[in-house]
Amino acid sequence: MDKLSAVRIAVREAPYRQFLGRREPSVVEFPPWGDGKSLVVEQNEFHFDHAFPSTVGQDEMYLALILPLVEKALQGFQCTALAYGQTGTGKSYSMGMAPPDKIQKPEHLGVLPRCLADILERVNAKQENEKEPIQVFASFIEIYNEKAYDLLGSSPHTPMVTARCHRCTCLPLSSQEDLQDLLQQGTGNRRVRSTKMNSSSSRSHAIVTIHVKSKTSHARLNIVDLAGSEGVRRTGHEGVAKQEGVNINLGLLSINKVVMSMAAGRTVIPYRDSVLTTVLQDSLTAQSYLTFLACISPHRCDLSETLATLRFGTSAKKLRLNPMQVARQKQSLATRTPHVFRKVLSSSTAIKRQAADQNSLCVPNPKSEMAKPLANVLQRTRSELGLTPKAKKRARELLQLEDTTLEPSSIHISDSSLSLVGFQAEIEKDRQLMPPPGVGNGQPSSLHSTAVSIAEVDEQEEPAEMPSISASVRTQLFRTNVSPISLRSSSILKELSGIQPMEETLITVPKQPSILRRSMRLANQRPQSYGVIPKVINLRNAQQSASQEHSSSVSVKKEKFSQLKDLITRVEAPPKRSRSRNNTSPADEWMAHNKSLFLDLLNRGSVKELQKIPGIGPKTAFTLVMHRSRLGCFLNLDQVKDLPIWPGKSWNRFSQANCLEI
Ligand SMILES: Nc1ncnc2c1ncn2[C@@H]1O[C@H](COP(=O)(O)OP(=O)(O)OP(=O)(O)O)[C@@H](O)[C@H]1O
């Protein structure tokens, strides 16, 4: 089977509208040489993925256009099918958004019921084989007069806050009856109005989202029925109805702008221009499958609208998308919050002093005087970490909670203080993950209990295509032979504890796998060995530097990132190495090493840092960072290459400038 194109555009001609009286020849011609993909309107030739004449039935259209999208949705991709066009051209009919009681014959069933039948059939078959629980549920919202309404909710005529549209009512779907009920309820609440051109014209944009959720993925299939794109003049409306038309056109215009911006490869996409694009923001991204169904009229009187619809389809053809499977949901709050603790605990001087005195880490009650510096640190930490407002609130609450246990076995918050408590049973297991230096190097002189880090254990298997994010966090107590004070002299302890070295120090890192933080583990999926890293300025530099090999102890000045860049971009002679077992040449080894270092750099660098790489400007740097923050680290350079940010031969120039090719 051919690879499914990420963007597909189809055109469907509507049948004649009876009430227009005299039957004239259609303005749309389907030339026999067009192979079902071309059409001619007034001597303008258009080419799309499919061109359906009015004689094509619902099942034929569904099989050719939507079924491949359903397959992709079941594989975990974000998919959207979007019908647009002039009023009365069959958008609701095609998408299956008409109320079920108006469908007289089964062959008139539209996309929605057919999609659901296929999804349920496949999900049931999959569950029989794999016994993996898969849930299917759906939501139905409409956007009317620039406000979003939850049509399945208890108050379908009360507008929702746009930013919370994703929290709309979702009903479980397990049979066609469930869908019938959902459509009955949803379409019954939808606004329709009689216009000059359609006796029951939808005056709102409707979005039905079918969610297919399993343990490892959460795919969404959006079926979007846009309101008719007609001139306000032609509907013959005044007052409220006229305002409706204006808002409908605003939504359609903003969809146009979003698609154009994506097609032009812009980094800033104007999603916020309208409620419609804000709600569809997650689906209209370069990582999803998009299918447009342009519905056109055969009538000459609609010619200008028909041409406008076809021109929009032509411009959407320029979209270059790179769909990616949706892995698990974003990192949970519980996973992120303890980072706040870690940073606060490790960077508050008051706490460190106390830790040194008492051989334990104790966060004072936030209401006490001692906690004031902590509050400032926490404030700073939160903004540094870029947590969402919700996560920030949660972090604040956790610090203020009394008599609360975050995770029974890890963090206990007592009346007057928050103590990090570890458990011996986990220690051995975690040492393998994150061995504290000093353990095993001779006899411990004294054992000090020091909470040194937070280790994370992935709960679920990662999907093959995307690295996933760990879901549980344990704060652990390691017994080390190093007192908390002596943490300052060992870089790995600094890294593990999160304490940032402030002065120039000569640091020797023992050769061992670096499992420092979740982000590093995600970025470095392969084992690395480290020699001695240069002097570090802060934790971030320590992590960046730790991914490079150095032969001996060196003291390096505070040049931060420029050094790292130099290291990577410099054309060096391939280092002399012992011949590897599979007889790869030293040049190949060097190239692989260089590429992996470069990938690390792309995965960790900030916008400012990435701009320093030859061939990366501010826009490209911003896109890379945005991509990373939305979809996680790049797994290989091919993923970077596939991004739509390398026009012409710019990737070749870029890779040559950075020695990624020999
Ligand atoms: N291909 C078709 N075959 C049979 N009937 C069709 C077809 N396309 C549209 N119709 C009929 O045309 C009428 C108008 O269609 P529909 O309401 O789907 O248009 P629309 O584009 O959604 O209009 P609006 O934007 O005003 O909501 C309906 O009665 C529908 O049954």
Name residue 354's amino acid.
Answer: Q
Superfamily of domain 559-662: AF1531-like domain (1.10.150.280)
Q: Collect the ranges in the chain with pLDDT lower than 70.
A: 1-2, 18-23, 193-200, 229-247, 324-584, 662
Query: Distance, CA 434 to ligand 1 centroid (Å)?
Result: 63
Tell me the binding residues.
85-92
Query: Distance, CA 13 to ligand 1 centroid (Å)?
Result: 11
Name residue 267's amino acid.
Answer: T
pLDDT of res. 154: 84
Cα-to-chain-centroid distance, residue 626? 10
SS3 43: coil
pLDDT of res. 249: 72
pLDDT of res. 387: 53
Q: Ligand 1 site: residues with CB under 6 angstroms?
A: 14-15, 54, 87-93, 198, 201-202, 227-228, 295
pLDDT of res. 81: 93
Query: Distance, CA 53 to ligand 1 centroid (Å)?
Result: 14
DSSP bridge pairs for 418: 363, 413
pLDDT of res. 584: 67
Nearest by Cα to 86 from 242, 248, 237, 209: 248
- Whether ipTM > 0.90 holds is yes
Name residue 514's amino acid.
Answer: S
pLDDT of res. 368: 56
CATH topology match: 7-316 vs 559-662: no
pLDDT of res. 58: 92
Ligand 1: residue whose CA is nearest its atom 8: 90
Q: Which CATH architecture has domain 7-316?
A: 3-Layer(aba) Sandwich (3.40)
Q: Which numbered atom of ligand 1 lies nearest the CA of 102?
A: 31
What stretches of 415-505 show up as alpha helix (H) in DSSP?
424-433, 491-497
What 8-state DSSP symbol labels residue 465?
Answer: S
Q: Which numbered atom of ligand 1 lies nearest the CA of 13?
A: 1
Most informative mutation of 86, 92, 297 for ligand 1 (most atoms within 8 A of CB): 92
Task: Report the alpha-carbon distance of residue 556 to residue 114 in Å, rounded.
Answer: 65
pLDDT of res. 580: 45
What Rg do the C-alpha atoms of the chain give, in angstroms?
Answer: 30
Which H or E element spans position 510? none
Please enumerate in sequence order all residues whose Cβ is within 8 A of that of 199, keeping only pairs 6 or more positions apart, or say none. Answer: none
pLDDT of res. 396: 61
Backbone angles phi and psi of 136, in degrees to 5: -120, 125
Q: Residue ranges per domain, the chain?
A: 7-316, 334-500, 559-662
Query: Distance, CA 23 to ligand 1 centroid (Å)?
Result: 18
Ligand 1: residue whose CA is nearest its atom 16: 90
Q: What is the pLDDT of residues 555-565, one digit of tens each?
A: 444 444 455 44
Task: Report the alpha-carbon distance of residue 52 to residue 10 in Å, rounded.
Answer: 7
SS3 sequence of 243-271: HHHHHHHHHHHHHHHHHHHHHCCCCCCCH
| Token digits of residue 303 | 């010619």
Nearest by Cα to 13 from 42, 52, 41: 52
